[in-house]
Amino acid sequence: MTSPSMMKYRTETTHCPECLGDGTLTYERPEPWVSRDTPPSLEEYTRECWACHGSGETKVDEIDF
């Protein structure tokens, strides 16, 4: 029988894997298609990282059995 208290919890703060510690993510979106003959170019825009909410770090909970 295994008791939960036998498990070892470890919390580490690491660079966010999504933004690599930047806290922001760069996305691309097509510009409005103004001409039928010319495909829209991509416009870059930056948003706060959804994974770390701009902190650039994430806490990783590891459970060692």
CA torsion sign, 16 to 20 to 26 to 28?
Answer: negative
Q: How far is the CB of 39 from Zn ion (least distance, A)?
A: 31
Of 51, 59, 61, 62, the residue at the interface with Zn ion (CB under 5 A) is: 51
Does position 57 interact with Zn ion (CB under 5 A)? The reply is: no
Query: Residue 27: beta bridge partners?
Result: 45
Beta bridge partners of 26: 46
Q: Among residues 52, 59, 60, 62, which is the contact residue for Zn ion, using CB under 5 A?
A: 52
Task: Please tell me the distance from the alpha carbon of residue 49 to that of residue 4, in angstroms, as a whole number.
Answer: 34
CB of 29 to Zn ion, least distance (A): 19
Binding site for Zn ion (CB under 5 A): 16, 18-19, 49, 51-52
